[in-house]
């Protein structure tokens, strides 16, 4: 069943809106490369739209009313927004849920060393990466160093013109005869992903003068001691801004589009959609790329606890009301899909692949090897969504991730489905997903935001 290319029917108004949306999106990608940066920016944007924190709402102790806007953040790494609807919470929420962590390389707790007159940070990668893609490119360091007294030093080095960048080196081709015979998974091994950070020795008689010089620079510029790395979270990400791609500027290339393309469009839809019948909710969570674990991942009770607080604010809290609210909710698990790549056609089954430019992608199921680990969305729910999409002129396509038995993937969908709510995966098709630079189509970004708005309005 052929789906049409969305670009074909766009009016000049559509094209203007695409331009506006994608300009904002490219900005967001360029300045928000970690879960902490995404959380911070989300809260700023939400506050501009009149959102208040759940703590403030609880403190005020006043009853919730339609139109109230509340956000809750967890450990600066995940954030939930609620726009209170006209119906009681017990009738359920319309939830858009995306993740704001992306594959990257983290700095270890004892990172600094010197070898061969060069200084390095030792690292441990985060999420699923092809390690060989992360060498020989300019890299930036983002994150926090927390001092023993609790004070926090924000780090972002490698994004401004005048900043230095960093690099992981690779073996020159001239000496790579043996390396080139290795399997791609072994060409660059995990412990070899160390970051080159300096080469100039201190003028002193001490050993490891290059490393000492780096320590001195860190102390002088940031007040960081070597021991402070023990309580730091520093993430190595590709340096540089997101860009338009193609002669026609129809695509976006950037780090972190899985899943910030769905996080941004979910957030944009959430902030734009006023006066909803059912309470709408936007979940932007951490740790999806490593299994949704920890306090800031989707498996944490943070979401449920926050909904409990809301029901309490509504008045006459009961656990039964909470359970009913969750069961009666509907969710779009806003996450990316693998776009059909003609250069790797063998990995895809053409009829059931998502294509750049054909709109938002629904995936009834994910998983691998016989749908294992999947949330398999209900046909009844799919019918409801088809109706909403058609009524709102949203271009959409139905796809699964690659050929049967060739691989697979998962999202946060299965976690929310445990409450008995309707959940389906729904997001943007991405080329070279999990690479340092990922590619999306502007038309798909636009259709996805339209889809999320239609969902919040009509589901």
Both tokens assigned to 398: 């139905």
* Adjacent-strand bridge partners of 280: 83, 94
Q: Name the minimum Å distance from CB 82 to Mn ion.
A: 23
Whole-number Cα distances in Å, 438 to 141, 256, 258? 19, 7, 8
SS3 sequence of 16-73: HHHHHHHHHHHHHHHHCCCHHHHHHHHHHHHHHCCCEEHHHHHHHCCCCCCCCEEEEE
Considering only residues 252 to 281 of the shown chain, the ones binding Mn ion according to CB under 5 A are 258-259
Residue 286 within binding range of Mn ion, rule CB under 5 A: no
Choose the stretch contacting Mn ion; rule: CB under 5 A; options: 319-327, 335-343, 345-353, 418-426.
Answer: 335-343
* Adjacent-strand bridge partners of 143: 155, 234
Q: Name the minimum Å distance from CB 128 to Mn ion.
A: 7
The answer to whether the Cα torsion of 338, 260, 101, 141 is positive or negative is: positive
Residue 335 within binding range of Mn ion, rule CB under 5 A: yes
Nearer to Mn ion, 198 or 297 (CB): 297
Q: Name the minimum Å distance from CB 254 to Mn ion.
A: 14
Considering only residues 353 to 392 of the shown chain, the ones binding Mn ion according to CB under 5 A are none
Nearer to Mn ion, 330 or 434 (CB): 434
Q: Name the minimum Å distance from CB 361 to Mn ion.
A: 12
Q: Name the minimum Å distance from CB 409 to Mn ion.
A: 7
Nearer to Mn ion, 259 or 447 (CB): 259
Nearer to Mn ion, 258 or 444 (CB): 258
Q: Would you tell me how many other CB atoms lie within 10 Å of the CB of residue 77? A: 23
8 Å CB contact between 340 and 354: yes
Choose the stretch contacting Mn ion; rule: CB under 5 A; options: 38-46, 264-272, 329-337, 448-456.
Answer: 329-337
8 Å CB contact between 95 and 149: no
Nearer to Mn ion, 210 or 268 (CB): 268
Nearer to Mn ion, 213 or 397 (CB): 397
8 Å CB contact between 365 and 444: no
Q: Name the minimum Å distance from CB 180 to Mn ion.
A: 29
Choose the stretch contacting Mn ion; rule: CB under 5 A; options: 43-51, 182-190, 228-236, 251-259.
Answer: 251-259
8 Å CB contact between 186 and 197: no
Q: Name the minimum Å distance from CB 186 to Mn ion.
A: 22
The residue at minimum Cβ distance from Mn ion is: 259
With contacts defined by CB under 5 A, how many residues of the chain interact with Mn ion?
3
Q: Name the minimum Å distance from CB 253 to Mn ion.
A: 17
Both tokens assigned to 198: 């300096």
Choose the stretch contacting Mn ion; rule: CB under 5 A; options: 9-17, 331-339, 379-387, 412-420.
Answer: 331-339
Considering only residues 123 to 162 of the shown chain, the ones binding Mn ion according to CB under 5 A are none
CA–CA dist 65, 314 (Å, integer):
8
The answer to whether the Cα torsion of 195, 200, 206, 207 is positive or negative is: positive
Nearer to Mn ion, 328 or 417 (CB): 417
Nearer to Mn ion, 194 or 259 (CB): 259
Q: Name the minimum Å distance from CB 430 to Mn ion.
A: 9
* Adjacent-strand bridge partners of 140: 237
Nearer to Mn ion, 102 or 397 (CB): 102
Choose the stretch contacting Mn ion; rule: CB under 5 A; options: 146-154, 240-248, 317-325, 330-338.
Answer: 330-338
Q: Name the minimum Å distance from CB 152 to Mn ion.
A: 28
The distance from CA 376 to its chain's CA centroid, rounded to whole angstroms, is: 22
98-113 b/e (C-beta count within 10 Å ≥ 16 → b): bbbbbbbbbbeeebbe
Residue 114 within binding range of Mn ion, rule CB under 5 A: no
**Residue 227 burial by Cβ neighbours in a 10 Å radius (0-12, 13-18, 19+):** exposed
8 Å CB contact between 238 and 103: no
Q: What length is written for the chain?
A: 459
Helices (H), 328-396: 379-391
Nearer to Mn ion, 212 or 259 (CB): 259
Q: Name the minimum Å distance from CB 288 to Mn ion.
A: 6
- Positions that interact with Mn ion (CB under 5 A): 258-259, 335
């Amino acid at each position: 069943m052929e789906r049409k290319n969305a670009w074909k029917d766009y009016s000049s108004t559509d094209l203007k809106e695409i331009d506006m949306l994608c300009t904002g999106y490219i900005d967001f990608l360029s300045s928000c490369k970690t879960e902490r940066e995404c959380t911070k920016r989300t809260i700023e944007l939400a506050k501009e739209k009149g959102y208040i924190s759940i703590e403030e709402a609880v403190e005020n102790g006043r009853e919730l009313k339609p139109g109230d806007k509340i956000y809750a953040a967890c450990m600066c790494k995940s954030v939930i927004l609620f726009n209170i609807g006209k119906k009681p919470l017990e009738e359920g929420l319309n939830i858009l849920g995306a993740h704001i962590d992306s594959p990257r390389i983290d700095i270890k707790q004892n990172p600094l060393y010197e070898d061969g007159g060069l200084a390095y940070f030792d690292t441990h990668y985060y999420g699923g990466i092809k390690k060989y893609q992360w060498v020989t490119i300019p890299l930036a360091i983002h994150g926090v160093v927390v001092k023993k007294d609790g004070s926090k030093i924000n780090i972002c080095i490698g994004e401004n013109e005048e900043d230095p960048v960093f690099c992981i080196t690779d073996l020159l081709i001239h000496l790579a005869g043996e390396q080139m015979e290795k399997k791609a998974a072994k060409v660059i091994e995990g412990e070899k992903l160390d970051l080159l950070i300096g080469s100039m020795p201190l003028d002193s008689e001490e050993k490891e003068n290059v490393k000492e010089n780096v320590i001195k620079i860190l102390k002088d510029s940031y007040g960081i001691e070597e021991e402070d790395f023990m309580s730091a979270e520093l993430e190595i990400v590709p340096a540089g801004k997101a860009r338009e791609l193609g002669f026609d500027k129809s695509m976006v290339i950037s780090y972190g589009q899985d899943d910030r393309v769905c996080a941004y469009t979910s957030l944009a839809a959430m902030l734009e959609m006023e006066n909803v019948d059912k309470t709408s909710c936007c979940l932007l969570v951490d740790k999806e790329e490593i299994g949704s674990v920890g306090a800031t991942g989707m498996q944490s009770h943070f979401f449920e606890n926050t909904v409990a607080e809301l029901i309490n604010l509504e008045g006459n809290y009961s656990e039964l009301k909470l359970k009913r609210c969750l069961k009666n909710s509907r969710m779009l698990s806003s996450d990316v899909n693998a776009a059909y790549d003609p250069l790797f056609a063998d990995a895809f089954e053409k009829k059931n692949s998502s294509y750049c430019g054909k709109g938002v992608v629904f995936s009834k199921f994910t998983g691998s090897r016989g749908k294992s680990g999947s949330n398999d969305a209900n046909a009844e729910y799919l019918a409801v969504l088809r109706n909403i999409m058609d009524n709102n002129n949203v271009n959409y396509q139905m796809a699964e991730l690659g050929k049967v038995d060739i691989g697979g993937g998962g999202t946060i969908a299965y976690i929310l489905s445990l409450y008995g709510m309707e959940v389906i995966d729904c997001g943007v098709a991405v080329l070279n997903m999990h690479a340092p630079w990922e590619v999306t189509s502007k038309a798909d970004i636009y259709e996805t935001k339209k889809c999320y708005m239609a969902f919040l309005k009509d589901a």
